[in-house]
Structure 1
Amino acid sequence: MKLILKTTILIIVAISLIACEKDIVPQIELPQADVTLPTNESTAEVQFTANTNWTATITGTWCTISPTNGKGDATITVSAGNNYSSQSRTATLKIVSKDLVKEVVITQNYAQLSTSSLELSFPKTASTSQLVITSNTKWIIEMPLTLTWASIATMSGEGNASVNIAVPENTSGPARSSFITIKYANESKVITITQARSTNTLPTVPQISSPAANATNVATLTNFAWTASNDADGDNITYTLSYTKDNVNWKDSVVTSTSVYMPRHLDENTTYRWKVTANDGFEGVSTPIYTFTTGIKKGLAEKEYQLVLEATEPGSGRKAAEIIFIGDGYTAADYQEGGKFNLEVAEGINEIFNVEPLKTYKNNFRIYKVGSYSVQSGVSQSDKSIVINTVFSSSFNGGSSISSNYDKVFEYCKVIPGVTDESLTNKLVILLLNQDRYAGTTYMWTDGKALAMTPVVRTNTSGSLYKNVLIHEAIGHGLGGLADEYITNQGQTINTIAISEFNQWSSLGFFANVDLVSNLTNIKWKHFVGVDGYSRVGAYEGAYGFTYGVWRAENTSCMINNILYFSAPSREAMVKRILSRANKYYTLESFIANDVEKAPSAAAAAFYTKGFNSVTFKPLGAPVLKY
């Protein structure tokens, strides 16, 4: 009986214990949510507290854990091999107790190593150089058996280190070169080691070309030139131009060419001393010191402006219609007195004021030019894979399209007193391109600012030369805000997209020479219809690139075939802008009274009737409209 009673009591206690166990709410506390392992074979411990049984698993096959189950507080060891891959790897450790799951993210970094340099150059004398290694793994340095002339203090390590490499004096004669290899994980880096030769042959002494010894009246934008040096060892030679006006403060310019143009003016009527040193990378030889004396200031320096034409009849506040000439693809020589840029600006100004209405209103203009030196002569032609290093990165892009860094162009223009971002809205900037290629593009902004990119075309047919492109792009588009009258979409009616663009720009005061209506009683230029002397004015269908649905004022003008003549509404639009920028009033009566050329000149007419070939003529591209 007692045995039965004891057994019964034991069963009751066991059942109670099991019941209590089931009633325990599992708790697991992890002090960390992630663990990072180094790239090499390593282990890490994850400690946690628990109040009941638990099991542990881990995703990923690159690491293992131990133990995988237990009861109460514990420490799990995570083990991983070397990570020699090119990226980090991760796995998730899960600790589970009943419905409670806790996770720890395990990350192992990948092996990385970089060096402060991949090339170490030593002089011919005994010296030591330091190579800085930045790494998160073990590494070892290997040297080829042939590298007997260098020693390395530290050949292996782990993590970051500074390694000293020493070489003795090179007494063997020629330069010597070798390498060392730094190995880590499954990767390696090769470091080249060179030491200068023990002997060197000096380059020959350059001979000066200009300015000549004791020369006088030398240009203030001086061109220093000398003959090339020869080097028996075949070394690359650099030249140091040194000059001074007081024999104390020398200014140096290091170049690889045999000439240097001063980008800034030297002082007028001043005696200077100068010399040239040729250096082969080891030693240098210098010319004797020569003297020259400058004359009066001439030419156009880099980022220097000059007033070329002053308005003789400015408006109130001395306001005037202002034009700024600037160039791309012109080198320093082109800005000397009588240089190419200066001559082509003068030619352009002459052509501008040979055309009406600018000829009549010339006294309202103020014209500047700005120096902008390019490294190379000419202009890039991306459509021909030609790249030229120029100050404004201008490029011919195919057809008549041209692009340039217009923001930089405008920055150069700001060297002119009073020229700001705001005042540029009332100025025409003409960017002359030193390239004999027929093309032209004008950027027109809604606020009135304009940049006319004008190549200096020489070898082309009549009507497609520098003066024609200049007048069409700079004066027609840039000053007048005129639309093209070309027909480039033969047989097509103007579409809705073009109509929308046209109307938007017309509402801002542009495109006075073209209209979308043909009724002479309400066309834009109706005030010229039937007026004495304006018999040419009517409605001629075909303009703005389309054959139908758009009309021009006269049968021919600069905006349709580049002749040096503008239609009546084109001339009027220009005069309105000229007077507005000169702070003067416009009246139709005054315009008609001063409108002296109401038809093409004999020369222009002869070009159109005899020299113009509508089949071979290539229209210039439409202006680029900027909002």
Structure 2
Amino acid sequence: MKSMKNKILFFLLLLGSVFLTACSDEDNPTQSEIKIITTEEQLILDSKTNARITIDFTSTHDWKASTDASWAVITPTSGKAGTASIGILAKEENRTGEVRTGLLTLSCGEATAQVTFTQAAMDVLNIEQTVYDLSADEQEISIKFATNIQNGKITLKAEDNYSWITPKENTLTRAIQEGEITLKIQANERRVARNAKLKIQVVNINDENQILMESATININQKEAPVGTSSDLTTQDKKVILIQEHTEGNGIPLIFLGDGFLDTDISNGYYRQAMEKGIENFFTEEPIKSLRSYFDIWMVTAVSLNNAFGNQFNTKFSCRLEGGGSTLIEGNHSKVQEYAMEVPTLKENPELFNEATCIVILNTEEYAGTCYFGFNDGVKTINLAIGYCPMIYGMEDDMFRRVLCHECIGHGFSKLMDEYSYQEMGRIPTSEITDTQKMQEMGWAANVDFTNDRNAVLWSKFLKDSRYQGKDNYGETLGIYEGACTYWSGAYRPTTESMMRSNMHGFNAPSREAIYKRVMSTAYGKEWEYNYEEFVAFDQAHLPMPTEATTRATYKEATRPFSLPVFTNMTIRFAY
């Protein structure tokens, strides 16, 4: 009995001890505390993406962490009591132009600690809008920007000379923090969309050659003008204007016409401007440049219903651009001849039409061009040629000039062959050699041959003449180079590059000789006899010289070969 009482007493004492201990814990709880170890100087993130800092601290209890910065990530977000570290990582570069601030909140029991951290600002030049898609109408646009660069000057840089865009005054704050540049965009009256690429630059105010920062590229895309329609197809049509009358020889007929031009294009002078630019281009290459006085030059107006090309449109000479990577242009040769024969001199002397070169300028900037020759009068093949040439990349672009010279002087007037070649074409077939040699019997195709024998090739006399040795003004050396008439082998050309190969480096000596012969034989008829020394004397006094010219064509585009000239076998009957 006594033993049982002792056990009960021990249990009650033990229970009282536990109760007292619990009460003691409630009356004297451990104080919750968070202590930041990292100094304020260590709380700055670099401006770049993935910049990182570490915050060290101690806590008396388990802790949790959070941040209000959407541009930052913290890890870990919770942990046990003791010494701990939290990493803060910048998710993105700071392009706001200003230092930005984030708040890290730590909680431990009832204790809370807040740590302010920052991310440095990088130098920025922010553009509100980088793409402007515009209608063809005249308009103004504002390019809004912001920068944090001090003591700088805002400039506008263009990739090309965009004559249709005019910058107006810049509007800037004193500190160059925000501003806008207003641009006046001219109406696009052409049937080709256009694009401009610009950049805003901040340059050193004391040295404008020092670029402090450059914006992303700003693209301005302007739509082409809507298709126009002529309201009067007759009043301005078939008007003949004499541009030049020959002063030497008997006169060589050169007729310029346009396709895809409206009645308003004629009345406002645009048609004539295009024709005169074509005429100017025709006489830019030697030797034709120095033989201009032998030519009679006319322009004949032609009113088209539409100023666009395609099956759904109607133009005077029905020009059709094949497209799809092809540069072929087809046209209504009979209609061209009909309009050319409006020239009074040709009406009075139809035989002279056999010697005419008709150049049709298309009212489009497409990269294309084709020449047609091999017409006949029912008895013999005649010199008449028709060249179709767009104003490639614009009236003032040098590609318009080059292609017109290649097609209309080279193929059309002088009956030269192409000097380019494709490896996949392989060796020239015997049948094509025979066809070309038949043309050579008429004095045509003088710039290609099918032998590499220096004593037998058509231009052998030049190879033996010391006056034609060494490099010319374009760095070309006269020789025998395989690859011509589009064929990789079996056909030969006189120089590596030329106007008849890649529309560059002018006409080589054999081509210049052929042009000279055509001019003089047409200007003086059968009474004229060719003299090699007379030609060399003329040629040496008028050698081609490189000139500065601009084109928006890439090198690949600028050297892309054109469609072969077309031998029509078409009989001309109405001229007699």
d(CA) in 2 for partners of 1:259, 1:607: 33
Q: Post-superposition shift, 1:620?
A: 0.5
Deviations 1:222-262 (A, max 9, x none): xxxxxxxxxxxxxxxxxxxxxxxxxxxxxxxxxxx998458
Work out whether 1:589 is the aligned partner of 2:510: no
d(CA) in 1 for partners of 2:531, 2:357: 23
1:419 — aligned with what? 346
Given candidates 478, 495, 499, the residue that maps to 2:429 is 495
Alpha-carbon distance change, 259 to 366 in structure 1, aligned in 2, over 3 angstroms: closer
d(CA) in 2 for partners of 1:329, 1:619: 25
Q: Post-superposition shift, 1:601?
A: 2.5
Alpha-carbon distance change, 561 to 597 in structure 1, aligned in 2, over 3 angstroms: farther
Q: 3-state SS of the aligned residue for 2:361?
A: strand
**Partners of 1:378 and 1:433 within 8 A in 2:** no
d(CA) in 1 for partners of 2:541, 2:345: 35
**Partners of 2:256 and 2:298 within 8 A in 1:** yes
Q: Which AA in structure 1 matches 2:273?
A: L
2:393 — aligned with what? 458
Q: Report the TM-score when normalising by structure 2.
A: 0.52
Given candidates 533, 552, 558, the residue that maps to 2:499 is 558
Q: 3-state SS of the aligned residue for 1:361?
A: helix
**Partners of 2:286 and 2:542 within 8 A in 1:** no
d(CA) in 2 for partners of 1:565, 1:394: 28
1:620 — aligned with what? 562
1:78 — aligned with what? none
Equivalent positions of 1:171-570 (< 5 A) are 260-261=231-232, 263-264=234-235, 301-313=236-248, 315=249, 319-336=250-267, 339-380=269-310, 386-398=311-323, 399-419=326-346, 422-445=351-374, 446-458=381-393, 465-490=399-424, 492-535=426-469, 536-563=477-504, 565-570=506-511
d(CA) in 1 for partners of 2:298, 2:451: 40
Q: 3-state SS of the aligned residue for 1:419?
A: helix
Q: 3-state SS of the aligned residue for 2:466?
A: coil
Q: Taking every aligned residue pair, what percent have the same amino acid on both sides?
A: 32
**Partners of 1:356 and 1:597 within 8 A in 2:** no
d(CA) in 2 for partners of 1:482, 1:437: 24
Q: Post-superposition shift, 1:485?
A: 0.7
Q: Post-superposition shift, 1:551?
A: 0.6
d(CA) in 1 for partners of 2:261, 2:343: 20
Q: 3-state SS of the aligned residue for 1:529?
A: helix
Q: 3-state SS of the aligned residue for 2:483?
A: strand
Q: Post-superposition shift, 1:597?
A: 6.9
**Partners of 2:229 and 2:307 within 8 A in 1:** no
Q: 3-state SS of the aligned residue for 1:519?
A: coil
Deviations 1:14-58 (A, max 9, x none): xxxxxxxxxxxxxxxxxxxxxxxxxxxxxxxxxxxxxxxxxxxxx
1:179 — aligned with what? none
Paired residues, number = 322
**Partners of 1:565 and 1:599 within 8 A in 2:** no
1:571 — aligned with what? 512
**Partners of 1:441 and 1:623 within 8 A in 2:** yes
Q: Post-superposition shift, 1:513?
A: 0.4
**Partners of 1:482 and 1:570 within 8 A in 2:** yes
Q: Post-superposition shift, 1:333?
A: 1.5
d(CA) in 1 for partners of 2:286, 2:305: 37
d(CA) in 2 for partners of 1:389, 1:615: 29
Q: 3-state SS of the aligned residue for 1:515?
A: coil
d(CA) in 2 for partners of 1:303, 1:491: 44
Q: Post-superposition shift, 1:531?
A: 1.7
1:17 — aligned with what? none
Q: 3-state SS of the aligned residue for 2:567?
A: strand
Q: 3-state SS of the aligned residue for 1:324?
A: strand
d(CA) in 1 for partners of 2:557, 2:366: 19
Deviations 1:579-599 (A, max 9, x none): 111116232222111114776
Q: Post-superposition shift, 1:360?
A: 1.2
Q: Which AA in structure 1 matches 2:263?
A: A
Q: Post-superposition shift, 1:508?
A: 2.2
Structure 2 unaligned runs (5+)?
A: 1-227, 375-380, 470-476, 570-576
Q: Post-superposition shift, 1:376?
A: 0.7
Q: Post-superposition shift, 1:603?
A: 3.2
Alpha-carbon distance change, 307 to 599 in structure 1, aligned in 2, over 3 angstroms: closer
2:212 — aligned with what? none
User: Aligned-residue CA RMSD in angstroms?
Assistant: 2.8
Q: Post-superposition shift, 1:500?
A: 2.4
d(CA) in 2 for partners of 1:262, 1:307: 22
Alpha-carbon distance change, 568 to 597 in structure 1, aligned in 2, over 3 angstroms: farther
d(CA) in 2 for partners of 1:354, 1:360: 9
Q: Post-superposition shift, 1:607?
A: 9.1
Q: Which AA in structure 1 matches 2:278?
A: G
Alpha-carbon distance change, 607 to 389 in structure 1, aligned in 2, over 3 angstroms: closer
**Partners of 2:447 and 2:510 within 8 A in 1:** yes
d(CA) in 1 for partners of 2:265, 2:506: 31
Deviations 1:101-135 (A, max 9, x none): xxxxxxxxxxxxxxxxxxxxxxxxxxxxxxxxxxx
Q: 3-state SS of the aligned residue for 2:387?
A: strand
Alpha-carbon distance change, 395 to 612 in structure 1, aligned in 2, over 3 angstroms: closer
Structure 1 unaligned runs (5+)?
A: 1-256, 265-300, 381-385
d(CA) in 2 for partners of 1:598, 1:258: 46
Q: Report the TM-score when normalising by structure 1.
A: 0.48
Alpha-carbon distance change, 593 to 377 in structure 1, aligned in 2, over 3 angstroms: same
d(CA) in 2 for partners of 1:258, 1:395: 18
1:181 — aligned with what? none
Q: Which AA in structure 1 matches 2:318?
A: S
d(CA) in 1 for partners of 2:230, 2:432: 53
d(CA) in 2 for partners of 1:261, 1:331: 9
d(CA) in 2 for partners of 1:583, 1:388: 44
List structure 1 runs of 4+ shifted beyond 6 angstroms.
460-463
**Partners of 1:533 and 1:598 within 8 A in 2:** no
d(CA) in 2 for partners of 1:597, 1:527: 19
d(CA) in 1 for partners of 2:541, 2:436: 28
Q: Which AA in structure 1 matches 2:313?
A: I
1:55 — aligned with what? none
Q: Which AA in structure 1 matches 2:299?
A: K
**Partners of 1:309 and 1:365 within 8 A in 2:** yes
Alpha-carbon distance change, 456 to 613 in structure 1, aligned in 2, over 3 angstroms: closer
d(CA) in 1 for partners of 2:335, 2:478: 41
d(CA) in 1 for partners of 2:367, 2:341: 29
Q: Post-superposition shift, 1:614?
A: 5.5
d(CA) in 2 for partners of 1:259, 1:491: 45
